[in-house]
Amino acid sequence: MTDVVVVGAGVVGAACAYYAARAGLSVTVLDRGPVAAGTTGAGEGNILVSDKEPGPELELALLSARLWRELAGLGGFEYEAKGGLVVAETSEVLGSLADLAVAQAGAGVEHVPVAAGELPGYEPDLTPDLAGGVYYPQDSQVQPMLAAARLLSGAPGAVLRTGVEVTGLLRDGDRVTGVRTNEGDIPAGAVVNAAGTWSGEVAALAGLDLPILPRRGFILVTEPLGGRLGPPLIRHKVYTAAYVTDVASDSEGLETSAVIEGTPSGTVLIGASRERVGFDRTTSIPVLEALARQAVALFPGLAARRVIRAYCGFRPYCPDHLPVIGADPRAPGLYHACGHEGAGIGLAPATGHLVAGLLAGAAPTLDLSPFRPERFAA
Amino acid sequence: MTRSQEGPHAGRLDGARPVPAFEITVDGRPVPAAPGQTIGAVLHAAGVVSWRTTRVGGRPRGLFCGIGICFDCLVTVNGTPSLRACQTEALPGDRVTTG
Amino acid sequence: MPGSGHEGPGTRDLAIVGAGPAGMAAAVAASRAGLDVVLVDAQARLGGQYFRHAPPGLRAGHPGTPQRGFGRFTRLAEALTGVDVRLGHRVWAVEKAVEKNAERNTAGNAGKAAGNDPGNEADQNPGKDAAAGFIVHCLAGTRDERRVTLRARRLLIATGAHDRPLPFPGWDLPGVLTAGGAQALLKGDLVPAGRTVVVAGTGPFLLPVAAGLAEAGARVAGVFEANGGAGLAPALAVRPGKLAEGAGYLWRLARRRVPYAVRHAVVEAHGGDRLTHVTVARLGRDWTPGARRTIACDALAVGYGFVPQIELATQLGCATEAGGDGEQVVVVDAGMRTSVPGVYAAGEPTGVGGADLAEAEGWIAGRAVAADLGRPVRPAPALSRRRDRLAAFGRAMQDAYPVRDGWKGWLRGDTLVCRCEEVPYARVREALALGATDARSVKLLARPGMGWCQGRVCGYAVARLAGETSPPPRRPVAHPVRLGDLAGLPDRADETQGTANDPAGEEAR
């Protein structure tokens, strides 16, 4: 019998498997698809502390940013400590941004206020029509699919089984004692639900209500330029202050805010849109147009660069925009590691670290009560 | 730019007598062209089979699919980068730069 | 009958994407039935790949007809009077339109949030209402590229196919072209691919490519057909006339002493910065390479079948299925209707079968659209029978010229699989070892298909290396579009009339 079954081979499941295996537990990771092909496969790879207000998610993000720096030693997933630059179009917004940065500093977020005249020193191609910004050196970036794959391959003794779909849970009374799959039953000491946007379905197998819903996001990808020889057009992760408010928004309609960055492949990734349309993959041209407008407004030089691809993904969100992390008291043996919305790549190591700690019986290093699974129960 | 040792191989245009012919330049070297021909065809006919190098491996690239699908034949014409040579009609006086 | 659409000015009855045999025939059929038709094509001239021809300026003084069936093309082109032909228009997206003032969902809000004019027709509601027709997003011009947006009540996808290459060491050397690329260079620009050319791959298409090159003055150093031709009997039972056509090509090659060999393939291309010679290997039954020899050449034309171009259909959610050659094709009914109401497909997108089949399907589709829009159209059972017969032939030919998995044995660790992102075979293997199990996850981990061509060139190979057949394409942006154009204000993006690409003069030959 394996100690732990992790459901989901995305970056969160991979991090859970990595830290659990490092804690000496035997781990089996299941995914109905390939590795990192669901929620993770449509991500940008953001590791952000800058976009979070002081509170439990920021604590998680700071722990995660530290863990990602350690994990970077595994190599092979394009970890870049590039820093984030948040810019404000107006002095009013800049004021709010500066206030936020001061509040974040109290929690341990490093930042550097950047006056309008100093912006070109950070990003020479930024539009001059900005009031200023804040630079966040802890923000960083990974290639999320490779990160998940490398964490899994770096988890000592962990077994990855792709193409295995969990169809039910093995129970002993309330207790969860393993999973039922299309390839037979797998008894386990514990089951970790890391199924990303589909985590609500896994919880439902235990008769539990976990309100995790999809929020659609599109990303544009430009033609590659520069490559090894030239410097990238965009050095940091650059986004507008509006992103912070959008992230926390409850709006059902579309919101877009520019999040722009170069990648080691020479492309520029352009996000971020957020809309609640279920699992509809149909491309919305107006959304692509809005993303393009915002990108060009921020970096006028991008107007001449071509978009060669676009993709969309579904971010798993909870009504209170906090993830679900920890043991489920309603079904002993079942742990959740899901609901990270658009921050799953960044928050994965901390999530995995905390869940592995619980599985190994260690006291949590962070207060998990804001993330408790039963908090939505009426 | 890769140039044939023997020079142009296709001066003979399948019996056609194009009029009026004109020239474009490749890195300053004049190359004959005919109305309606693509930049890619003009270069290829002149024995120039590659006009860019790849980002990672620095490999030479020229025509491959010939119908606008593969983007291997991206070329810089009159300073405008990333045009598909197989889809861009040559015009008198065009300056192609390789590299 | 211009302006017959009631959805507002500028909405046509039918937009056809692709002006090859299928699109041209459909345009003629639909316009004869009284429909207001716009025919869009990326190329500078009508005809698609099959009827690709040299520009008038190049052929001056040499007005001969170089191609089989070219008279048919001329008749189709002349019958396009009354059709709005938009050449040099590349379609980067198609989407469903919704009725003006219809209830907006979140996609409608998208426009508002982005500051669009609330009345902008480009606001749309995917998946709810196809009755309002379709929006065809184009880029027109090459150097002076600009957005053009067309609207139509019905949409026909007649986008043809492109070559299906297989990777092998050295296949990215300059001088290596796809078979279709060599053919396009010859037919469209009258330029032979090289002085000494090797033609290789599989399928009947290799023969006209080789014959054309030989007759244009190139020395064809050999034609290497990877299959044995043993499975041809069923195909020839359907269209016995094709035997004579094939024999005719072989005779033309023999007359010019062009060596022709079956069960052989080019398994490696050599050269420094350009092709100098190729290695040809004898193939076993599963294409495992055996005895090898080298042949000096400065060009190689190579192709292993064709990939239908169906990304516009999948953008709209049209159902697809794997065709006989493993490529995804659009599912259509007897009237060429796809699973999405209002969307039709004809020609290679419904299954590769050649120009005759494409034209037949075009006639059927044009008539079906007219009938569906309430125009009187007489039934044409003979046309349907012809289509069925030609489609059966196409399937039988695909069966006779399969790709066997032995080609994987040609690859070395450093052989590029993806040319755009320069992904070697070793990285594909690494992705599979890391837990990728299909083409998409290989792409996510190792990047093949993420570059300029969006996997059109390497898609088949990557899918086969991942152990599956090609999945339906996911290309929300079918053609690169400048961010400035994508960001363009709606009024700038509205339909541009009277462009320089007016077809009337161009095609009056």
Share of chain C above pLDDT 70, in %: 86
**What pLDDT was estimated at residue A224?**
87
* Residues C344, C231 within the same domain: no
* Residues A218, A202 within the same domain: no
Contact C204, C328 (CB under 8 A): no
Q: Does pLDDT of C494 surpass 80?
A: no
Grouping H, G, I as helix, E, B as strand and the rest as coil, residue B53 is strand
The total number of structural domains in chain A stands at: 2
* Residues A303, A167 within the same domain: no
Which of C60, C190, C480 is opposite residue B14, by nearest beta carbon?
A: C190
How high does pLDDT run on average in chain B?
Answer: 85
* Residues A220, A357 within the same domain: no
- The pair of structure tokens assigned to C137 is 């997003």
Which of C317, C482, C483 is opposite residue A282, by nearest beta carbon?
A: C317
* Residues A223, A288 within the same domain: yes
Picking from C281, C303, C325, the residue at the C-terminal end of a domain is C303
**What pLDDT was estimated at residue C126?**
37
**Looking at per-residue confidence, does C69 or A358 come out higher?**
A358
Provide the β-strand partners of residue C365: none
Q: Does pLDDT of A161 surpass 60?
A: yes
Q: What is the pLDDT of residues A81-107, one digit of tens each?
A: 999 999 999 999 999 999 999 999 999
Q: List the single best residue of C159, C163, C189 to mutate versus B (max B Cβ within 10 A).
A: C189
Which of C58, C273, C451 is opposite residue B16, by nearest beta carbon?
A: C58
A248: domain range?
Answer: 81-138+213-317
CATH 3.10.20.440 fits B24-97, yes or no: yes
Nearest in space to A188 (alpha carbons), one of A6, A378, A375: A6
The minimum CA-CA distance between A121 and chain B, rounded to whole Å, is 26
* Residues C45, C59 within the same domain: yes
pLDDT confidence bin for C499, thresholds 50/70/90: very low
Which alpha helices (H) appear in chain B, and where do they start and end? Answer: 39-45
Q: What is the pLDDT of residues C203-242, one digit of tens each?
A: 999 999 999 999 999 999 999 999 998 888 888 888 888 8
Picking from A293, A317, A341, the residue at the C-terminal end of a domain is A317
Q: What is the pLDDT of residues C133-186, one digit of tens each?
A: 999 999 998 888 899 999 999 999 999 999 999 999 999 999 999 999 999 999
* Residues C25, C89 within the same domain: yes
Decide if A35 and C441 are in contact by the 8 Å CB cutoff: yes
Which of B14, B61, B67 is opposite residue C181, by nearest beta carbon?
A: B67
Residue C405 lies in a domain: no
Nearest residue in chain C measured CA to CA from A257: C114
Residue A28 lies in a domain: yes
Nearest residue in chain B measured CA to CA from A266: B55
Picking from A283, A298, A317, the residue at the C-terminal end of a domain is A317
Residue A65 lies in a domain: no
Decide if B55 and A228 are in contact by the 8 Å CB cutoff: yes
* Residues A352, A265 within the same domain: no
Residue A159 lies in a domain: yes
Residue C290 lies in a domain: yes
**What pLDDT was estimated at residue B91?**
96
Q: What is the pLDDT of residues A245-289, one digit of tens each?
A: 666 666 666 777 889 999 888 899 999 888 999 998 888 999 999
* Residues C299, C312 within the same domain: no
**What pLDDT was estimated at residue C68?**
67
Count interface pairs B-C at CB distance under 8 A: 168
* Residues A87, A218 within the same domain: yes
Q: Please report the DSSP string for A279-329 in residue order.
A: B-----HHHHHHHHHHHHHH-GGGGGSEEEEEEEEEEEE-TTS--EEEE-T
Mean pLDDT of C37-63: 83
* Residues A130, A250 within the same domain: yes
Q: List the single best residue of B50, B56, B64, B84 to mutate versus C (max C Cβ within 10 A).
A: B64
Q: In CATH, what number is assigned to the domain containing residue A357?
A: 3.50.50.60
Q: What is the pLDDT of residues A183-231, one digit of tens each?
A: 999 999 999 999 999 999 999 999 999 999 999 999 999 998 764 445 5
**What pLDDT was estimated at residue A248?**
62
Q: Does pLDDT of C493 surpass 50?
A: no
Q: Does pLDDT of A164 surpass 70?
A: yes
- The pair of structure tokens assigned to C300 is 């190689």
* Residues C192, C297 within the same domain: yes
**What pLDDT was estimated at residue A249?**
63
Ramachandran bin of C306, using left for φ above 0, alpha for ψ from -120 to 50, beta for the remaining angles: beta
Share of chain C above pLDDT 90, in %: 78
Q: In CATH, what number is assigned to the domain containing residue A284?
A: 3.30.9.10
Picking from A296, A317, A338, the residue at the C-terminal end of a domain is A317
Q: What is the CA angle A238-A228-B43, rounded to 5?
A: 115
Residues of B in contact with C174 (CB under 8 A): 2, 49-50, 60-63
Secondary structure element (H or E) that encloses residue C312, with its range: helix C311-315
The total number of structural domains in chain C stands at: 3
**Looking at per-residue confidence, does C466 or C126 come out higher?**
C466
The minimum CA-CA distance between B87 and chain A, rounded to whole Å, is 17
Which chain B residues touch A if contact means CB-CB below 8 Å? Answer: 55-56, 82
**What pLDDT was estimated at residue A241?**
87
The minimum CA-CA distance between B72 and chain A, rounded to whole Å, is 13
The minimum CA-CA distance between C422 and chain A, rounded to whole Å, is 11
Print the SS3 string covering A324-373. EEEECCCCCCEEEEECCHHHHHHHHHHHHHHHHHHHCCCCCCCCCHHHCH
Decide if A227 and B82 are in contact by the 8 Å CB cutoff: no
Nearest residue in chain C measured CA to CA from B73: C174
Residue listed under structure tokens 């050319």 = C197
* Residues C182, C249 within the same domain: yes
Residues of B in contact with A267 (CB under 8 A): none
pLDDT confidence bin for C66, thresholds 50/70/90: low
Nearest residue in chain A measured CA to CA from B74: A223
Mean pLDDT of B26-38: 94
Q: How far apart are CA C508 and CA C80, in angstroms?
A: 11
Which of B55, B56, B82 is opposite residue A306, by nearest beta carbon?
A: B82
* Residues C294, C184 within the same domain: yes
Decide if C58 and B68 are in contact by the 8 Å CB cutoff: no
Mean pLDDT of C334-345: 98
**What pLDDT was estimated at residue A237?**
94
Residues of C in contact with A276 (CB under 8 A): 106
Instruction: Among A136-140, A170-174, C121-125, C340-344, name the one with the lowest average pLDDT.
Output: C121-125
List all chains that touch chain B, counting a touch as 3 or more CB pairs closer than 8 Å: A, C
Question: Looking at chain A, how many residues does it have?
Answer: 378
C231: domain range?
Answer: 166-303
Which of C123, C137, C482 is opposite residue A306, by nearest beta carbon?
A: C482
Q: List the single best residue of B67, B72, B80, B87 to mutate versus C (max C Cβ within 10 A).
A: B67
* Residues A300, A339 within the same domain: no
Q: In CATH, what number is assigned to the domain containing residue C427?
A: 1.10.10.1100
* Residues A288, A221 within the same domain: yes
Q: What is the CA angle C339-C345-C349, rounded to 5?
A: 110
- What ipTM goes with this model? 0.93
Residue C399 lies in a domain: no
Q: Does pLDDT of B4 surpass 50?
A: no
* Residues C252, C360 within the same domain: no
Q: Does pLDDT of C387 surpass 50?
A: yes
Going B51 to B56 to B59 to B64, the CA torsion angle's sign is negative
Residues of C in contact with A10 (CB under 8 A): none
Count interface pairs A-C at CB distance under 8 A: 176
Which of A223, A228, A306 is opposite residue B56, by nearest beta carbon?
A: A228
**What pLDDT was estimated at residue C4?**
35
Instruction: Among A36-45, A327-336, C134-143, C492-501, name the one with the lowest average pLDDT.
Output: C492-501
Residues of B in contact with C216 (CB under 8 A): 12, 14
* Residues A167, A205 within the same domain: yes
- The pair of structure tokens assigned to A358 is 């619980």
* Residues A308, A241 within the same domain: yes
* Residues C60, C152 within the same domain: yes
Residue C194 lies in a domain: yes
pLDDT confidence bin for C56, thresholds 50/70/90: confident
Q: What is the pLDDT of residues A341-365, one digit of tens each?
A: 999 999 999 999 999 999 999 999 9
Which of B37, B49, B70 is opposite residue C174, by nearest beta carbon?
A: B49
The minimum CA-CA distance between B49 and chain C, rounded to whole Å, is 6
List all chains that touch chain C, counting a touch as 3 or more CB pairs closer than 8 Å: A, B
Q: How far apart are CA C51 and CA C19, in angstroms?
A: 10
The minimum CA-CA distance between A283 and chain B, rounded to whole Å, is 22
Residue A85 lies in a domain: yes
Decide if B55 and A223 are in contact by the 8 Å CB cutoff: no
Nearest residue in chain B measured CA to CA from A227: B55
Q: Does pLDDT of C118 surpass 60?
A: no
Residue listed under structure tokens 């996609």 = C107
Nearest in space to C273 (alpha carbons), one of A368, B61, A233, A138: B61
Nearest residue in chain B measured CA to CA from C416: B57
Picking from C276, C303, C330, the residue at the C-terminal end of a domain is C303
Q: How far apart are CA A209 and CA C375, in angstroms?
A: 54
* Residues C211, C350 within the same domain: no
Where are chain B's structural domains? 24-97
Contact A44, A259 (CB under 8 A): yes
Q: List the single best residue of B52, B53, B54, B55 to mutate versus A (max A Cβ within 10 A).
A: B55
Residue A151 lies in a domain: yes
Nearest residue in chain A measured CA to CA from B54: A227
The minimum CA-CA distance between C203 and chain A, rounded to whole Å, is 31
Q: How far apart are CA B41 and CA B35, in angstroms?
A: 11
pLDDT confidence bin for C103, thresholds 50/70/90: very low
Question: What b/e string do you get for C321-354 counting C-beta neighbours within 10 Å, with b at 16 or more?
Answer: eebebbbbbbbbeeebbbebebbbbbbbbbbbbb
**What pLDDT was estimated at residue B89?**
95
Decide if C481 and A307 are in contact by the 8 Å CB cutoff: yes
Residue A59 lies in a domain: no
* Residues A101, A242 within the same domain: yes
Cα distances (Å, whole numbers) of residue C409 to C166, C167, C293, C297: 12, 11, 17, 23
Provide the β-strand partners of residue C117: none
Which of C421, C447, C483 is opposite residue A305, by nearest beta carbon?
A: C483
* Residues C216, C281 within the same domain: yes
* Residues C261, C362 within the same domain: no
Which of C142, C422, C457 is opposite residue B70, by nearest beta carbon?
A: C457
